Structure 1
Amino acid sequence: AGPERTAAAAARVLDAATARGALVHLQRSALDPDTVGVLQGRKELLPRLREEVASGVGIEVPRLAEEKRISWTNLVFGIGSLIGLWAIIGILSGAGSSLEAIKGASWGWVAVTFVLAQLPMLLGGLVLMGSATGDLPFGRCVALETSNAFTALVGGDVAVFAIRVRFFQRQGYEPAEAVSAGAIATTAWWVVKALLFIVALPFAAGDFKAASGESGDQKIVWIVLLIVLAAGVIAAVITLVPRLRRLASSRVRPYLVSIWANLKTIAVEPRKMTYVLVGTTVAQLLSTLALGAALHAVGEQASIATLLTVNTLAGLIGGAIPVPGGAGVVEAGLIAGLVSAGIPQDQAVAAVLIQRFFTTYLPPVWGWLTLAWMRRREYV
């Protein structure tokens, strides 16, 4: 019948309170699958219907209620969170001697670790500025990356990407431009991590040795690697099965085209490319140096190549597993890597706990405050 006739009929039989109660739930996530199927390709229908009904009964369009449903994404995220929780418990259960090492740490080096752990947020602001066409305020971009310390801990990389896209939209970018800019920023971090690992590994290979026994941390890393392998198998199946490949292509191709167009635009601006490449590289190096400073704090040290290899590999594994902030998984990877490089177990655990406290668990405090401030300003 169309939104206008439907709204007119609703206005004749519904009072304002009943209409408002219906409109707060008039969204795709609250509808049955058959109705959602009918709405394919008609994204504007529900918003128009909400506006027409609200106008017909003389009320403002109410805010939609947040629907909570269990999805495959939520299920996978929940399983990943359990893995992270199990890993953290395994690490802390044997951390008694490590806590003594932390108590006896050099607090000057601990302070250096804190400073180095915060600097990547400034570099993240540069990366955002370089990811989008046009000019963005540096302070606003740094504020977003600061808030992402909280977002990453509660929602992982997916939530960080969504917040970045929302930020670009609030700055006046079209949805396709916002998605491509957010994708460039996120992809740049992953590409630089992988390249640093490839460069550092040959120099660090001689520092690693097989452990005499298989510790709990190593078992966790093996489980994580198996999950990553499973993800690779799924990706291969999607690539090889024509029907799945066509489905993935139809969903992903428009975004890839937009990303490529945006990338070509910023590629001709040396300043933009410098922001992206230098920002991501230096940020990763600072995070690695923070791990090195934490090792110095407990009386140990390792080469920069070894630290890069361990830190980057743990970050890649943590990012590939659906655990918010890589909690537990990254710690297990860092500890196993440092122990394999000859660092005593207690000192490795102590150094990792110091570094992760300053890089992952403390910044969300001011990240949450910054996110609340940005929401009040309607920057996200």
Structure 2
Amino acid sequence: MAIVTGRVDSDTGGARSGGIPGPGGPGGDAAPGPAGTARVRQPVALIRLLAGVAAITLTLLLADYARATTSGIASDVAQAADLVPRPLAGLAGGLTTAALLLVPAYSAARRLTSAAADRRRTLQHLSDGLLAAVLAYGISLALDLWVDEAASPTLVAALTQRLPGGSLAHTEPVYGYLAPVLGFLTASAARERRLPRLTLAASALAGLAAGYATPTALLLGLLIGWTAAHGTRYAVGTPDPRPRPAQLLRSLREAGLRPVAARPAGPDRYLVTQEAGRPDLDVQLLDRQAVTAALFQRAWRRMRLRTAPHPRALRSLRTGLEHEALVSYAAVAAGVRTRRIAATAELGRDSALVAYEYLPGRTLDRLADEELTDALLTDAWSQLALLHRREISHRALVPSALLVDDAGAVHLVDLADGDIAASDLVMRCDTAQLLATFALRTGAERAVRTAVAVLGADTVGAALPLLQPIALAGTTRRELKRAASAARAASAERSQPAGPATPPVELLDAIRAEVLRTQPQAPVRAVKVERLRPRTLLAVCGGVVAGWLLLPQLFATEQNPIAAVADADPLWLALALLAAVTSHVTAAMGFVGFVPERLDFRNAVFAQVAGSFVKLVSPGGVGGVALNTRFLQRAGIPTAQALSSVGVGQLFGLVLHLLQLGAFVYLMGMEPGGSELDALPAVVGGLVGAGVLLALVSAVPPARRWLAARLRPLTSEVLPRLVELLRSPGRLAVGVAGQLLVSLCLVACLYCCARAVGREPAFAAVAVVFLIGNAVGNAAPTPGGAGAVDSALVTLLEHSASMEEGGALAAVALYRLLTLVLPVLPGWAAFAWLQRRGAL
């Protein structure tokens, strides 16, 4: 009989945590005041407000751009309205308008005269409805004035039509009183639904039949009223919707219990005392608004992960209540120690309660380290084994879900997100989660040893592929990061006098090592639990943004750049292709030159070609760094040395990039008629911005510590690797030459592309344009720098190389075709070939 609070854990899909404190405990101070005496801002109101604003904007855009569709619909409706006799349509319009205006008054009078109504809360709701009605009416009038005075003629024609009777005037863009009436009913939380809906529908149909409204005007009226209502509810807040203790006790009595008193015990929780001889109750309130507020986060997690629970926000309140009760009953039937449900009940449309038998105890996060004995850990694993024996998953085995009673027995609580007939993958996730939970408190060795003693080595080994951060709860991931940071800091302090610090063994790695010690045949390859990776979504968004930015520009100039590319000079085009191909060879030189160990140069060239494929699924230069590091690891170089070699290459590349930029800026000033002043603002601005950013980071202690942590690998790993390279000056010269030549090859490619489309820019100017544009591309978070590189190159070619817009677009389009698009297929082939040979 476990007791939990009502806090929602967004990472576990709704797990609640924390045991009920005793009288005077910490939970009582955080208890809310009496319901109805305060106002609360509910996030769901903000979500609906933003959705309403988006819907209104989309309606106006569609009305303006999809003129044929809106005009066709309005014409069809007008033809159908002509079949209705005009006097009858006018009479219906007048009657429905009168009825529409009487609906708010009827709703308010009925609520005020209701004997069971809470007068204070009712007055608050009615005042909110009145404010929303005024706001909706004001927005409708403002939109009418804007359409009449400032909107385009096409939008006016889409929203309005000629008044019946041959008048030259037109109808209103927002029809009648739909907006204020709907705003009042929504903001005042009117209980009557059928009569207002029928009246709104009748008024809308009468307006269409009489010719005083268009379908778009009706839609705008409804959207404005709905949006204004939720904007009002979020701006001023809503009366606290949580039930009062008296209502809570009345519902429990109706459920067959004998409650005497209720006192708050935390957010959305009450400790209820019953008559003598009956156990106390832990009553948990379920709030639809709080669950819906996390809709987007939980829906994204469900879409991203195969192991995520179903979003509770997508269930009805009754469905969620039944699911929680079902999992709890199934766990009790399986012999698992958990809280027993005493009663369930709905408290209106937006809340419900689950009453559990009260059991005093403390959760795992409130126990001292010395209290976490092997017997306690073994008992927890035994409870999980009972749960899994009936194919029931928990999904949220965080410390707050393990409650220890006064006798030292472990109870599994927070089963709201559990599953009946759970899959093997989800149950292995439970095992991995509990391993991480215990390892954070007791260490990897004890966590694995007690798990193997209860579950067996095979079961624990089967969970090893799920022991990855993304498959764990959000609170556990944060604790793992905090523990790793603390371990690194302690290791750095201990090793500071003796030499560079070595990174500590990560906790998950320690758990894997312990499991493999007991089960050497256990699978170690991680199971793919992601359905959709953020970088995939980023790649799609980057491509859409790039197309949105570039495609209109391709046809906005007098000279069509596509035609210019089609008419490109074959000789210069061949030279551009040669320069693009040569850049992969020089990139391999720049890569192997900073690795003291001997590498297969052919494989290194193929790795650089494969980088062209990897760039499409990773932002900036991240994909190339990861690919080169993996290539060195597969070549037998330890991870630390591989990262150091790549870091040395990146450091030299940055320095050489700045030196080349300065040299070409100087050469621009030496050319006849040239001036380095055109490029200096970008160069100086970038340097000044970097300096200001570094100064700001250094001035803020948390940022300074973050920067120091990121630079620590540079001093502890990269610099020693650089000293080792200095002993082989020939190899270092190859690396420096490769870094210089790869930039020159790409500059030559861009220059040849410009010459191929009939332009004759200065080579130094093109070099400056490329070096600045390439820096922008590496900083952009889009794959391959899509959008950012293209826009930067076009803009810089126009200003620094004195090329017109059409020629700049044609040169950049041809350059990106040769360096980004065409290498994708060879890059994929090289990637697959290296994988088959075990080089990646």
Using structure 1 for the length normalisation, give the TM-score: 0.83
Match for 2:562: what amino acid? L
Who is 1:333 aligned against? 792
- Identity rate, percent: 26
SS of equivalent residue, structure 1 residue 326 = coil
Aligned with 1:172 (options 626, 629, 636)? 636
Q: Which residue of 1 aligns with 2:838?
A: 378
Q: Larger deviation: 244-253 or 131-140?
A: 244-253
Q: Within the alignment, does 1:343 sit opposite 2:803 as a pair?
A: yes
Among 663, 669, 683, the residue aligned to 1:199: 663
Aligned amino acid, residue 813 of structure 2: L
| Structure 1 letter corresponding to 2:823 | P
- Note closer, same or farther for the CA distance 1:112–1:68 as it changes in structure 2 (3 Å cut): same
Question: Residues 84 and 326 of structure 1 are in contact (CA less than 8 Å); yes or no, is this contact kept in structure 2?
Answer: no
**Contact conserved, 1:204 with 1:306, CA < 8 A, in 2?**
yes
Match of 2:814 among 354, 363, 378: 354
Distance 1:57-1:308 versus aligned 2 partners, 3 A rule: closer
Is 2:604 the partner of 1:145?
A: no
Aligned to 2:745: 286
- Paired with 1:167 and 1:20, the residues of 2 have a C-alpha distance of 29
Counterpart in 2 of 1:320? 779
Alignment counterpart, residue 160 of structure 1, candidates 624, 628, 633: 624
Counterpart for residue 60 of structure 1: 522
Q: Kindly indicate whether the alpha-carbon contact (under 8 Å) linking 2:667 and 2:764 is maintained by their aligned counterparts in 1.
A: yes
C-alpha distance in structure 1 between counterparts of 2:638 and 2:460, whole Å: 32
Q: Distance in 2 between matches of 1:257 and 1:69?
A: 37
Match of 1:43 among 489, 505, 508: 505
2:770 paired residue among 311, 331, 336? 311
- In 2, the alpha carbon distance for the partners of 1:179 and 1:143 equals 20
CA 1:308/1:17 → structure 2, altered by over 3 Å: closer, same or farther?
Answer: same
Is 1:274 aligned with 2:733? yes
- Cα 1:46–1:123 change in 2 (3 A) is same
Deviation string for 1:24-51 (max 9, x for gaps)? 2223442512355456536354345335
Cα distance between partner residues in 1 of 2:616 and 2:722: 29
Of 126-135 and 236-245, more deviation after overlay is shown by 236-245
- Residue 272 of structure 2 corresponds to which residue in structure 1? none
- The whole-number CA distance in structure 1 between the counterparts of 2:512 and 2:724 is 39
Match of 1:262 in 2: 721
Is 1:101 the equivalent of 2:564?
A: yes
Alpha-carbon separation, structure 2, partners of 1:262 and 1:200: 31
CA distance 1:199–1:2, change in 2 (3 Å) = closer
Q: Does 1:190 align with 2:654?
A: yes
**Counterparts of residues 70-81 of structure 1 (less than 5 Å):** 78=538
Helix, strand or coil at the partner of 1:134: coil
**Kept in 2: contact 1:179–1:255 (CA 8 A):** no
The separation in 2 between residues aligned to 1:319 and 1:114, in whole angstroms, is 22
Report the 3-state secondary structure (helix = DSSP H, G, I; strand = E; otherwise coil) of the residue aligned with 2:463: helix
Larger RCO: 1 or 2 (CA < 8 Å, sep 6+)? 1
Q: Which deviates the most, 306-315 or 47-56?
A: 47-56
Give the 3 Å change call, closer, same or farther, for CA 70–195 of structure 1 in structure 2. farther
Alignment match of 2:699 (pick from 240, 247, 259) = 240
| Structure 1 residues 234 and 21, CA gap change in structure 2 (3 angstroms) | farther
Is the alpha carbon distance of 1:132 and 1:89 closer, same or farther for their aligned partners in structure 2, counting shifts above 3 Å?
same
For structure 1, which segment, 173-182 or 87-96, has the greater mean C-alpha deviation from structure 2 after superposition? 87-96
Structure 2 counterpart SS, 1:261: helix
- 1:26 partnered with 2:467: yes
The structure-2 alpha-carbon separation of the partners of 1:19 and 1:339, relative to structure 1 and needing over 3 Å to count, comes to: same
**Residues paired across the two proteins, number:** 365
**1:131 counterpart residue number:** 594
8 A Cα contact 2:609 2:827, kept in partner? yes
Using the alignment, how far apart are the partners of 1:363 and 1:129 within structure 2? 21
Query: Match of 1:63, as an amino acid?
Result: R
Which residue pairs with 1:219 in the alignment? none
Q: CA deviation at 1:288?
A: 0.8
Q: Deviations over 1:278-316 (max 9, x none)?
A: 111111111111111111111111111111111111111
Question: Offset at 1:269?
Answer: 2.3
Sort the Cα spacing of 1:69 and 1:173 in 2 relative to 1 into closer, same or farther, 3 A.
same
Matched residue SS, 1:325 = coil
Aligned partner (choices 452, 462, 486) of residue 11 of structure 1: 452
Shift in CA distance, 48/200, structure 1 to aligned 2, threshold 3 Å:
closer
> Which structure would you say has the larger Rg?
2
2:839 counterpart SS class: coil
Name the SS for the 1:178 alignment partner: helix
- The separation in 2 between residues aligned to 1:326 and 1:114, in whole angstroms, is 20
Question: Amino acid of the residue matched to residue 131 of structure 1?
Answer: F
Q: What letter is aligned with 1:106?
A: D
Q: Which amino acid aligns with 2:522?
A: E
Q: 2 CA distance for matches of 1:55 and 1:176?
A: 24
Q: Tell whether the 8 Å contact from 1:208 to 1:342 is kept in structure 2 after alignment.
A: no
- Structure 1 residue 194, shift from structure 2 partner: 1.8
SS of the aligned residue for 2:593 comes to: helix
Distance in 2 (CA, whole Å) between partners of 1:160 and 1:84 is 19
Distance 1:81-1:168 versus aligned 2 partners, 3 A rule: same
Q: Which runs of 5+ in 1 are unaligned?
A: 212-221
